[in-house]
Structure 1
Amino acid sequence: GQAVLDGLAAHGKDPKTAVVVYVGGDPADGNAKMFHDGAVSVLEPAGVKPAAESPGFWDGPKSAAFFEQALTSLGGKVDGVWSANDTNAGGVISILAKNGLAGQVAVSGQDASVEGLRNVLLGYQTATVYKPVSLEADAAAEVAIAILKGETPSADKTLDDGTPYIAVAPILVGPDKVQSVVEAGDAKAADLCSGDTAEACAKYGVK
């Protein structure tokens, strides 16, 4: 959600009047609801109201098809897109590019995928939410060790259904932080800096 607000601010758009589309994840996936609720908890207080919202899926082509219809129904005017992950964001960006709008609309994403990081470097995606693999692995190891010892694993929070979980703090990655993902070993500069992103990599020190 914060990535959308940052992108709107960068484009001089007021969140209260901005035209924002939500492209969420598959509702059958419990994570999708958490991502959606987390984004709404940031966007709603800022005054953002969705002009259109997808039924939800983890699918680039389906996201593209939905967004193309939404863009048409909104008269070609969209200021921002909250996207639940980089794959969905990629679908949205393909339609923005098709309509000459790539880089002019705030688009969020998640996962710090190669596609997402490249879009961030190109300025097509405002940022991606990055969850360091090492931190997730450490948390999983703590749980496994506790279970093997016959202990109850410690948990930071509890889901609505009562399931406890360990929260790993996500990091919002804009173009100036892409190198940190590379340094953590979760992306390779060779994958990020080929073709049309080479100039951006040089600008932001991705190597």
Structure 2
Amino acid sequence: GWDNTKGQTIFQQKYTANNKINATIEANDGLANAVVTVLKQKGVGPNKIPTVGQDATLQGIENVLQGYQCGSVYKAVYLEAQAAVALATILRAGLEPPSALVNGTTAPASGKPGNTQPAVLLTPLWVDKSKVASTVIKDNFVDKSALCQAVTQKVCTDNGIT
């Protein structure tokens, strides 16, 4: 699993052994925050080592606005829910889902036999400083008041979050 504490320990060891790291890519914002924590402890300031995550969590977006994380991959939960409900309703009625909804396929896991399966593929969004207001704040995915309290109102205002 993705263990933030373990990830922080591993990154701490790797960074201590060789601090010539020029970028990091994490599977989620929790692991990205573990990296950011180590970098802060080592005195590395914002905008020095590009770090990315996924899930657009409050902490991840804080790190984005503070310059410790370049961005976060955001998957709009309401779009996932809409697609799931539409698909379930269509299948429950015994109908064939339209190609406008089922718009792709998934492949089996590497090394495992099996056929591809029809899938509803949605487009994730990259959220950097310039897109926080128009995505996660607009969608009410990240609470604006909690975010602006964590990073200061000035940082929010400077990034179009009002």
Alignment TM-score, normalising by the size of structure 2: 0.85
> Any conservation in 2 of the 1:83–1:89 contact (CA below 8 Å)?
yes
Q: How many residues align?
A: 150
The C-alpha deviation readout for 1:72-113, integer Å capped at 9, x for no partner, is 222x12110011110110101000100011421000110111
Q: For residue 137 of structure 1, what is the amino acid of its counterpart?
A: A
1:159 aligns with 2:107: yes
Q: Which residue of 2 aligns with 1:108?
A: 52
Q: Which residue of 1 aligns with 2:140?
A: 185
> Any conservation in 1 of the 2:104–2:118 contact (CA below 8 Å)?
yes
Q: Which residue of 1 aligns with 2:70?
A: 126
> Any conservation in 2 of the 1:193–1:201 contact (CA below 8 Å)?
yes
Whole-Å separation in 1 of the counterparts to 2:152 and 2:9: 26
- Which of 30, 35, 38 aligns to 1:95? It is 38
Q: Which residue of 2 aligns with 1:194?
A: 149
Larger Rg: 2
Q: Secondary structure at the match of 1:67?
A: helix
Q: Secondary structure at the match of 1:62?
A: helix
Q: Which residue of 2 aligns with 1:33?
A: none
Q: Secondary structure at the match of 1:172?
A: strand
Q: For residue 126 of structure 1, what is the amino acid of its counterpart?
A: C
Once the two structures are TM-superposed, the CA of residue 61 in structure 1 deviates from its matched residue by: 1.2
Once the two structures are TM-superposed, the CA of residue 164 in structure 1 deviates from its matched residue by: 3.2
Report 1:143-158 matches (<5 A): 143-153=87-97, 154-158=102-106
Q: For residue 63 of structure 2, what is the amino acid of its counterpart?
A: N
- Runs of 4+ in structure 1 off by over 6 angstroms are none
Q: Which residue of 1 aligns with 2:111?
A: none
Residues 186 and 140 (structure 1), Cα distance of their counterparts in 2 relative to 1, 3 Å cut: same
Once the two structures are TM-superposed, the CA of residue 184 in structure 1 deviates from its matched residue by: 1.2
> Any conservation in 1 of the 2:65–2:151 contact (CA below 8 Å)?
no
> Any conservation in 1 of the 2:106–2:117 contact (CA below 8 Å)?
yes
- Which of 48, 68, 91 aligns to 2:12? It is 68
Whole-Å separation in 2 of the counterparts to 1:79 and 1:166: 36
Instruction: Say what the alpha-carbon RMSD is for the aligned residues.
Output: 1.5
Whole-Å separation in 2 of the counterparts to 1:89 and 1:123: 12
> Any conservation in 1 of the 2:62–2:151 contact (CA below 8 Å)?
no
Once the two structures are TM-superposed, the CA of residue 155 in structure 1 deviates from its matched residue by: 4.6
Q: Which residue of 2 aligns with 1:80?
A: 23
Q: Which moved further from structure 2: 63-72 or 161-170?
A: 161-170
Residues 92 and 85 (structure 1), Cα distance of their counterparts in 2 relative to 1, 3 Å cut: same
Q: Secondary structure at the match of 2:155?
A: helix
Q: Percent sequence identity over matched residues?
A: 33
Structure 2: any 5+ residue segments left out of the alignment?
109-113
1:205 aligns with 2:160: yes
